[in-house]
Amino acid sequence: MKIVFRENGSIGVETNGKYVLRVGETETVIEKPKFSLCRCGHSKNLPFCDSSHKEFGFIAPAAEIELE
Ligand code: FES
């Protein structure tokens, strides 16, 4: 699994092909190899990024984490 902190943007997560989303007591298995999480706090679709960070001029450095 890889986590990519995009410069001035979201947190990209590369999965093994699917992930489980838990919101309250609801659990959904989503088959998708990649998704983007908000780290600016302005998304209207939290926890996911909706590109609002561009509108708010979010600034943050790039980084990458790889989990083995
Ligand atoms: S990082 Fe994209 S909307 Fe927050």
Mutate to test the pocket of ligand 1, among 5, 11, 35, 39 (most ligand atoms within 8 A of CB): 39
The class of domain 2-66 in CATH terms is alpha beta
Examine the pLDDT at 45 and tell me if it is beyond 90. Answer: yes
pTM: 0.88
What are the domain boundaries of the chain? 2-66
> Ligand 1: residues whose CB is within 6 Å?
9-10, 38-40, 42-43, 49-53
Q: What percent of the chain has pLDDT over 70?
A: 100
Residue 16 and residue 1 in contact, taking contact as beta carbons nearer than 8 Å:
yes
User: What mean pLDDT is predicted for residues 3-20?
Assistant: 95
Q: Hey, how many other C-beta atoms are within 10 angstroms of the C-beta on 61?
A: 8
